[in-house]
A and B are shown apart, each in its own frame.
Chain A
Amino acid sequence: MPKLSSARLTAQSHFRTLRLGTPFQPRIDALMKTNDWYDWGGYRAPASLWDEELEYFAIRSQAALFDISPMVKYRIEGPDGEDFLNRVTLRDVAKLKSGRVHYTAWCDDEGYVLDDGTLFRLAPDRFRLCCQERHLPWLLDSAIGFDVSVLEETEAVAGLALQGPTSVAVLREAGFAGVERLKVFDLAEFPHEGGRVTISRTGFTGDLGYELFAPAELALSLWDRLWKAGELRGIRAIGYTALNRARLEAGLIVANADFVTAEHAIRPDRVRMPDEIGLGFMVDLEKGHFNGRRAIAQARAKGSMRHVLVGLEIEGNIPAEHAIVYHKQKKEVGLVSAAIWSPMAKRNIALASLSRPYGDTITDDLWVEIYAMRELRYERLMKRARIVPRPFIKLDRRTASPPADF
């Protein structure tokens, strides 16, 4: 019996480490100066490592290394992989060629977004789906009637984002021959330490950048390879605060920050259809059936969608984070979900969710109410907001092919 109970105790060790380390943890721990951690899906992830301002500028003018291992990853494989993903996700997977990546989202029966993420077509019958939330039961139940296997590989696969103008030079310097031939949303496999690393020209920064996926056991050697090669290219490890600024400049949304995913929403009016969070472009009503298709088509026909996600430019330079949006300074019409002063755009920018018709047909005379804390007193600022197109910044180097060498 004592043996059994000790075996049980070992099996129950999860509560001793409430935040797990990623395969890169030894390197990140070594670089961590601020001790500024946050919880990313149960992992101990850096909000910043040394200086969030400079980390942001590493993205925009050097090469920034960001650990994306906590991102949830599924391996989807089988002859029906394409059909399966077409049924689950919004975009037409038939149009996604092998060796390409696309940004997509998926919905429940009612057409409410369960998550967004990136779909990697590694081979004609092999995919990787990366996202914020866990979806294994949903994916497995969706696989009924399809010749496909769905495997959770979040722990088994380590991921790194290498973003910034010198990122291609770092990779080339590290010996990933031919990486400069990757166009935006291309992916390819490269040899590494007897194994393989998948490199895609993707990212969450709106900048030139790459994402690398490798088996967890190759993680540290991959990090070291990049770190060494990047020494003269200004490679820096960064945390989420810096990345979050970059993604906002790029106009990208984050699940459960800019919208509430359908399985997390408790209040019935918090769920969102793709069109309500700016993902309507993904919905392909022509490709055949997919989850939520009927509900979305019906809501469009009835005009019953009630929300719209917009980019805002706000006067002044005080970030309007979580500020309420007003029409004519009076009527409450929405909420800002993310806001920063954009160093690149030199503008005060924000993402906001508005209730139609505001943001849809009524777009003028919008205001945000910012409470600025000034030495233990709030100063209430009513600032004019203007709906502007996203992304807030557009960098030619993100898409230039071949990418410029720095």
Chain B
Amino acid sequence: MTSFDAIVIGGGHNGLVAAATLGKSGRKVLVLEAAGEVGGAARTEEFAPGFRVSSAHLLNRLHPEVMKTLELERHGLSFGPIAPSVALSRDGNPLTLHGAYGETLTGTSASEQAAWQEFRAQLLRYAGILKPLLARRPPDLGNMSLMESSAFAMTGLSLRRLGKEDMRDFLRMLLMNVSDVADEHLADDRLKGLLAFDATLGSHLGPRSPTSLLGLYYRLAGEISGQPGAQALPAGGMGAVIAAILSAAKSAGVGVRTDAPAMKILIERGRAAGVVLDSGEEIRAKTVISAINPRSTFIDLVGTRELDTGFVRRIKNIRMKGNVAKLHLALDRPPEFSGVDATGHRGRLVIAPSSDHVERAFNPAKYGEFSPEPVMEITLPSLADTSLAPDGACVLSAVVQYAPYALKEGWETGKPKFLKAIMAQLELYAPGIGKLVRHAELLTPADIETRYRMPGGHWHHGELQADQMMMSRPAFGASGYDTPIDGLYLCGAGSHPGGGISGVPGLNAARRIIEMRG
């Protein structure tokens, strides 16, 4: 029987980052992946003959510390150009945000451009205040170490450095909704629609829901190539990102086993002692790190018997019902979105014509119905990575909301109706696209749940809202990557700061384990 210093359950990007970081510290690490290959939602899979795609389709927050610690560039990762965001318009007059989240703006009036520059600078300034908080381990309110308190104090200091007026506005806006904030500054519906979409993407919030601005800050706290708010479709697609992290892990001596679903976390006298696979095989380790969903970790793998009742209550109360569907289209040739140039097609195309439209799309989701006119973000990954589609053909990848996990009528009958609604929207912005479709794959939250083992089909593994952030993420008692079980840690998107391809939970968890000598 082999024994490891650490076992990481789940070979998603965070699991791999944690494993690689621990491997580099000299620990003997094993990654267990339930699926046939690693990468989680960032893995690339064939969805139609010759057409491949990954569910995560954009990079906007892979953390520089992760890049540096794992030397990902040395392992072959390059971001390629910063991709623009295009707010599509039915009349063929899109608005384009160039550079890192609209360093320049085309397709709108000069006054709107000026207003945007001022507002963008303000948003980035405020996101910058939160950025260190979203990068570090959340503070431990009970017993904060000197390091933690001084880091916390630095946030206070950077707030002060904003100046009185800015600090007041930062605090005023912190829990506001994105719609009201955007209305204070902007006039262009397309631009406000884009902000509304970005702020609410992946959460059960409409642009007018309180606190929805936080989602936009979360996004803008990410950076690519040192540029806050930037996004990229990396050369070689998302598969290349996973390949680079995997390569870093392997060169750090990490072992990876695929098709090895964990059934149980072994606990002996209140301490994690290893993992039992569904084959019955038992693998022992001093430290177990779960990169999978927190609820699955505690309720299924640890089991309620090893946990306190109050903690079980909190874990079961984590809100994690996804609202996002994923569309993959195999197209005969690249589609043409009205008024969008070639660079735009290589960027991110957003259908969210106004903040009102996003809000209206959200309304039915509250009552278990999908949006009749859904909003979405579209990429054409095969333009950046030609290996993803046969010659001349094209892959379209779209993140579509709102698609409530618990659809009242059930997804079996709801799915074809929702696909129709999505295609109707696409047709409005890219006339003729319907005729190009060779194959369509729509992943509802229920499908995402099954395929990626994400309960609720929620890519953050728990709603990313104020009450489930920082030291409340995923829940009190399991924050800061620690758990009530000695030797068991969390390192996935369900932990602080949250989801997206950032690697931060993985890196922070590994550092915590090293600090705790786990």
Stretch of B310-318, B369-377, B421-429 at the chain-chain interface: B310-318
Question: Contacts A289-B306, A291-B309, A294-B484: A145 and B299 contacting too (C-beta < 8 A)?
Answer: yes
| A–B complex contacts, Cβ < 8 Å, 9 sampled | A108-B308, A108-B310, A109-B309, A109-B310, A109-B477, A142-B309, A145-B299, A289-B270, A293-B308
Q: Which residues of A contact B313 (CB under 8 A)?
A: 141
Given contacts A144-B316, A145-B299, A294-B270, contact A289 B309 (CB under 8 A): no
- A406 in the interface, Cβ–Cβ < 8 Å? no
B310 touches A145 (CB 8 A): no
Task: Mark contacts of A79-95 with chain B using CB atoms, 8 A cut-off: 1 yes-contact digit, 0 otherwise.
Answer: 00001000110000000
Q: Interface digits, B290-307 against A, CB 8 Å rule (1 contact, 0 not)?
A: 000000000100011111
Rounded to whole angstroms, the CA-CA distance of A138 and B316 in the bound complex is: 14
Known: A108-B310, A145-B299. A83 touches B270 (CB 8 A): no
B residues less than 8 Å from A144 (CB atoms): 299, 304, 312, 316
Decide: A88 and B309 in contact? CB cutoff 8 A. yes
Chain A residues with CB under 8 Å of chain B are: 83, 87-88, 108-109, 138, 141-142, 144-146, 288-289, 291-294
**Interface residue ranges of B268-306 to A (CB < 8 Å):** 270, 299, 303-306
A110 to chain B, nearest CB (A): 8
A-B complex: 8 closest residue pairs judged by Cβ atoms: A145-B304, A109-B308, A109-B310, A142-B309, A291-B308, A289-B306, A144-B304, A291-B309
Q: Per-residue CB proximity of B448-465 to A under 8 Å, as 1/0?
A: 000000000000000000
Q: Which range contains the number of B residues in contact with the other chain?
A: 10 to 19
CA distance A146 to B312 in the complex (A): 13
Known A109-B477, A294-B484; judge A145-B305 contact (CB<8 A): yes
CA distance A145 to B306 in the complex (A): 11
A141 touches B305 (CB 8 A): no
| Nearest-CB residue, chain A, relative to B300 | A145
Q: Could you say which residues of chain A place their CB within 8 Å of the CB of B306?
A: 289
Give the complex CA separation of A109 and B477 in angstroms.
10
Given contacts A291-B308, A291-B309, 17 further A-B contacts (CB under 8 A): A87-B304, A87-B305, A108-B309, A108-B310, A109-B309, A109-B311, A141-B309, A142-B309, A144-B312, A145-B303, A145-B305, A145-B312, A146-B304, A289-B270, A292-B308, A293-B270, A294-B308
**Chain A residue contacts of B309, Cβ below 8 A:** 88, 108-109, 138, 141-142, 291
B window 313-330: CB within 8 A of A = 313, 316
- Please give me the residue from chain B that is nearest to A111 by CB atom: B308
Please, how many angstroms separate the alpha-carbon atoms of A352 and B309 in the complex? 31
Chain B residues whose C-beta falls within 8 Å of the C-beta of A293 in the assembled complex: 270, 308
Chain B residues with CB under 8 Å of A88's CB are 309
> In the complex the two chains form, what is the Cα distance from A248 to B210 in whole Å?
56
Name the residue among B306, B310, B316, B477 with the largest chain A CB count within 10 angstroms.
Answer: B310
Q: Which residues of B contact A138 (CB under 8 A)?
A: 309
Least distance between A78 CB and chain B CB atoms (Å): 14
Nearest to A293 among chain B residues (CB) is B270
CA gap between A293 and B306 in the complex, in Å = 10
Q: Which of A83, A141, A292 contacts B312 (CB 8 A)?
A: A141
Q: Please indicate the chain B residues that have their CB under 8 angstroms from the CB of A142 in the complex.
A: 304, 309, 312
Complex interface: chain B residues within 8 A of A291 (CB): 308-310
- Report Cα–Cα, A289/B484, bound state, in Å: 11
Whole-angstrom distance between the Cβ of A305 and the nearest chain B Cβ: 17
Contact B308 A146 (CB under 8 A): no
Chain B residue nearest in CB terms to A83: B305
Give every chain A residue within 8 A of B308 (Cβ-Cβ). Answer: 108-109, 291-294
Distance A141 CA – B299 CA, assembled complex (angstroms):
13
Instruction: Using CB atoms, name the residue of chain B closest to A145.
Output: B304
Closest to A289 in B: B306
